[in-house]
Amino acid sequence: MLVTGQLTDELGGNLSNRQIRVTFEMGSMIFDPIENRMKFRAGDTGVEACIPGATDENGFFDINCPLAGVDAGMAKVKVEYNSWDPLNNDRYRYKNKTQSLFFPVFSNSTIDVSEVGPFRSDYLTYTFPNGSTFEVLYLKEAFHIDAKLTQTNGKPIGGKCLNIYLDPLVNTRPFATAITTDGTGEFEWYSADPDDNPSRRGVEPSGNKLEGFRTIRGADAPDREIPGGCRAEDNPVLNSSFMDIEVLVRSKVDILLKEHWSNPSGFQVGDVIAGEVAILRDRLDLTVEGQRVEFIRQYWNGSGWQTAPGGVEILTTNERGSANFSFIYPGEEVFGEGSEVIAVDGRWRVLVHFESADDNRPYFVERWLNSTPEIRLGDTVVDSKATFLTTQVLVISGIALSSPLLVGMTMYKN
C-alpha cells in the first residue's frame, strides 16, 4: 500500500524535508445501531508501521506500507507529522498534526478443494486405462467436501460464506452453503449433516443424467446476492473466485434372484439346472442394461470350492436388467478333470459376479453374490412303473392264496 500526500502550513506553503510517520491497522466496518452509523472495528493483528519517509522540496510524500501477511479488509491509516521530532526541528514553529483515513484493502481469494469423497470420510478414486484418475462419488449417497479459502498472500480467510454447486452449468442455484472457520479458512462440509445441509440430499440425478462425470464447484461471491445461497456482503474486500472439481459418479447395484435354482430334495444326473438374476440400481430400483454378468460354476472338492474347467459363463444384461444361465447337472463328475477329481456328494454352486462392461465407462460398482443356493445330488428315485407292477403281482398272489383258505374254512364250518 502506498500512502501519498502533501504537507503544507496554514498559508499553503510547502514544508519540505519533514519526516512523516504512517501506521495502519486492519479491521472491518460494522454498523452501530445505537449511534446509527458505521464504525471501525479493529482486528487482531494490531498496529503496523510503514517504512519511514520524508517530504520532498514541494512537500509531497510517498510512504510505502508493506501488506505482506495482513488480512484483506478496511485499513485505518494514521498519518502523523511530529514537530518535536529532532529531524524536523519545528517545535516552536508548527503544531503536531495527525490525520486518520480509511481505505479498503482488496485481495483476490483462492479456493483450494483438498478432498471430495463419499460419506463422511471415505476417499476413493478410479484410474482409467489412459492413466487419468478421478475422485469417485456414489449416486443417491451422501458425500463430503474439504476445502480452504485463502487470499493472495496465503493468509486464511475465516467466517466467509461459500456456495456449493453440483453441475453449475445445469443447476444455477447452489446445492448448499458452507462457512469457513476463523483462523484456518477451512471448512469440512458433509451433505448428510443437517447443520451443513438442511435438505440432507446427496448426489442426486441431474435431469436424465444418472451416472457419469459431474462437476462440483466451490464459489466465493461476496459482492453478489445468490438466490438460495450466500448473501452479499455490505463492504466486500475480496474478489470473487471459484474452483471446479470433476468427479466420477457411480451407482451401487443389487443382484436379485428372479428364477431360483434351489431344490430341497436335490438333483439327479442329467437334470437341467437353470437360473436368472436381475441387476438393479441400489437406491433407485432402476434396471441396469447392457452390463457384464458372470455365472461361475464351482464344485466342492472335499476341502474347498473349486471353479470347474469352462465353468465361467459371461452374459450381458438385457433391457430388463436380467441375465440367465442353464447347464446339465453332472453329479459327482467334473468334466475336464481327471477321474480322481470329483464333486464330493455332488455338491455344486453358481456364483454371480457383476461389473461394468467397459473399463472406459465404469459407471457401476463391482458386486458379488456368493450366498447362492447350493446344488446337491438327491436320493435315487425308484421307477414308479416297476413299483406299480410289483404291487400288482403281490395283490394278485394274495388273492390267489386266500381263495383256497376261504373254501377250506367254509367246508370246515359246514
pLDDT of amino acid 31: 78
Residue 362 has phi, psi (to 5 degrees) of -85, 65
d(C-alpha 179, C-alpha 160), whole Å: 5
d(CA 317, CA 291): 5
Contacts of 281 (CB under 8 A, 6+ apart): 139, 210, 251, 252, 253, 254, 287, 288
User: 250, exposed or middle or buried, with CB in 10 Å at 0-12, 13-18, 19+?
Assistant: buried
List, for residues 153-184, the tens digit of each pLDDT value: 788 888 899 999 999 999 889 999 999 998 89
Residues paired with 127 in a beta bridge: 133
Spatial contact of 97 and 15, defined as CB atoms under 8 Å apart: no
**Looking at 129-138, 295-304, 331-340, which range is the least confident one?**
331-340
| Backbone phi and psi for residue 248, each to the nearest 5 degrees, phi listed first | -100, 120
Which listed CATH number (3.40.30, 1.10.10, 3.40.50, 2.60.40) goes with 2-105? 2.60.40
Those residues with Cβ within 8 angstroms of residue 22's Cβ, 6 or more apart along the chain or in another chain: 3, 49, 50, 53, 63, 65, 77, 78, 79, 80
pLDDT value of residue 275:
95
The pLDDT, as a whole number, for residue 34 is 85
Q: For the chain, give the mean pLDDT.
A: 88
Over the stretch 391-405, which tens digit does the pLDDT of each residue have?
Answer: 565 656 666 666 655
Please check the confidence at residue 94 and state whether its pLDDT lies above 60.
yes
Q: Does residue 175 contact residue 228 with C-beta atoms inside 8 Å?
A: no
Tell me if the domain spanning 109-250 has CATH number 2.60.40.10.
yes
245: Cβ–Cβ under 8 A, 6 or more apart, which residues? 113, 116, 135, 215, 216, 217
pLDDT given for residue 164 in this prediction = 95
* Global pTM value: 0.74
CA distance 210 to 253: 13
Locate cell 524535508: which residue? 17
The string of pLDDT tens digits covering residues 30-53 is 778 888 888 888 877 788 899 989
Q: Locate cell 482488496: which residue?
A: 106
> What local confidence, expressed as pLDDT, does residue 369 receive?
95
For residue 316, count other CB atoms closer than 10 A to its CB: 11
Domain spans in the chain, listed from the N-terminal domain onward = 2-105, 109-250, 253-375, 384-414
166 vs 199: CA distance, rounded Å: 14
The CATH number of the domain covering residues in 253-375 = 2.60.40.10
Query: Are domains 109-250 and 253-375 of this chain identical in fold?
Result: yes
pLDDT at 403 (0 to 100) = 61
Q: Which three cell numbers stand for residue 118?
A: 463419499
Give the pLDDT score at 273: 94
Alpha-carbon distance values, 158 to 1, 56, 93, 311, 319 (Å): 23, 42, 49, 61, 52
Within 13 A of 98's CA, how many CA atoms are on the CB side?
8
The single residue listed with the C-alpha cell 407292477 is 389
Residue 413 has pLDDT above 70, yes or no: no
What tens digit of pLDDT does each residue of 13-32 get?
Answer: 889 999 999 999 888 777 78
- Cα–Cα nearest to 244, from 108, 109, 107, 111: 111
* pLDDT tens readout for residues 68-83: 777 777 889 999 999 9
Q: What is the pLDDT of residues 268-291, one digit of tens each?
A: 999 999 999 999 999 888 999 999
Q: Which one is predicted more confidently, 130 or 107? A: 130
Q: Note the residue count of the chain.
A: 414
Contact 59, 16 (CB under 8 A): yes
Q: For the segment 341-389, what is each residue's pLDDT rounded down to a tens digit? A: 999 999 999 999 999 999 999 999 999 999 999 999 988 765 555 555 5
Percentage of the chain exceeding pLDDT 70 = 92
